[in-house]
Amino acid sequence: MNNIVACIDGSRASPSVCDHAAWVSRCMDLPVMLLHVSIQPETSGTRPVREASPLERQESPHSTQERTQQQGRQLPQKQGQALLNEASDRLMRQGILEPGNLLRQGDIAQVLQELQHEARIVVVGRQGNHSKGDMQQVGRHLETIIRTLGAPVLIVPEHYTTPQRFLIAYDGSEAANKVVARVAQSRLLSGLSGHLLMVGKDNADNRAMIHAAQSILERKGFAMRAEVRPGPVEECLTAYQEDHDIQLLVMGPFGHSRVRQFFVGSTTTRMLKRSRAPLLILR
């Protein structure tokens, strides 16, 4: 678990994935492994038919089919390697020496599960290559990745801004307290200004829980601000981010609390559309 795995797919978010991976690498002093996963080649039944050349007409149908299949396999590999080379150059211009690269084929969520023992953190764009600019693919792979991957996941927008302030979405649960403990030991967030927000009733119990979490982080040297806000989770988190110019949102895995429920299903898509900040999921 010593690599930052940066997922490059050729989308508009890929440069931002590189830049965020470089930032993580500098903070944590870890190498970057670039990953591109191409889709499986189309079957001969779905691929457009082109007219055979004179040479191909002299060959057997079996030989022609084999050549077509081989060309179909080589094209995404060449395109994927070109994307990895471009991403590697971008990282090296930022001082990240000798980034590794992996070219795989299949489903991105499954490939990441196979590689997660090598990953300290996974960086992925929130907008996929096939989303046509409207984030239609948010949720198709991201929810699976978040649900199944054991490593932390950093989901980034199209544009990079060096984080100066982070916000922990806190609900007082065991999972949320684990996030606080992880952040307290984090080299990635060390030196940043921190915020804790609990969405719920502003009562003594909730204030006691969030102030206890605040104290844990302050004892580790973090400058923290804590607040309890009543109201709908999505609106409260979005408004707080805008009010305080939050550049990184931190939360734990899925569960049954109001905060974590709001990240499941279509609300995930809406929040990722609305928020300009990256989202860090910690286990």
**Topology agreement, domain 3-41+76-156 and domain 165-281:** yes
- Residue 247 near residue 164 (C-beta atoms within 8 A): yes
For residue 251, what pLDDT is reported?
Answer: 85
Q: Where are the beta strands (DSSP E) in 230-283?
A: 248-251, 279-281
pLDDT (tens digit per residue) in 31-79: 999 999 987 655 434 445 455 555 555 566 655 555 545 544 566 789 9
pLDDT (tens digit per residue) in 147-181: 788 899 999 998 999 999 999 999 898 888 999 99
Lowest mean pLDDT among 41-50, 217-226, 227-236, 258-267: 41-50
Domain 3-41+76-156 fold? Rossmann fold (3.40.50)
Pairing of strands 153-156, 279-281: antiparallel
pLDDT for residue 27 is more than 80: yes
Question: What is the distance between the alpha carbons of residues 238 and 37, in angstroms, rounded to a whole number?
Answer: 32
Q: Where are the domains of the chain?
A: 3-41+76-156, 165-281
Q: Where are the beta strands (DSSP E) in the chain?
A: 3-7, 32-38, 100-105, 119-125, 153-156, 165-170, 193-199, 224-229, 248-251, 279-281
For residue 135, what pLDDT is reported?
Answer: 42
What is the share, in percent, of the chain residues with pLDDT greater than 90? 55
- Residue 281 near residue 201 (C-beta atoms within 8 A): no
Question: What is the distance between the alpha carbons of residues 262 and 259, in angstroms, rounded to a whole number?
Answer: 6
Q: What Å distances lie between residue 279 and 169, 239, 241, 249, 263, CA to CA?
A: 11, 15, 12, 5, 11
Can you identify the CATH homologous superfamily of domain 165-281?
HUPs (3.40.50.620)
Which long-range contacts link 238-245 to residues 24+ away (Cβ below 8 Å)? Answer: 238/271, 238/274, 238/275, 240/167, 240/195, 240/197, 241/167, 241/275, 241/276, 241/277, 244/165, 244/167, 244/195, 245/165
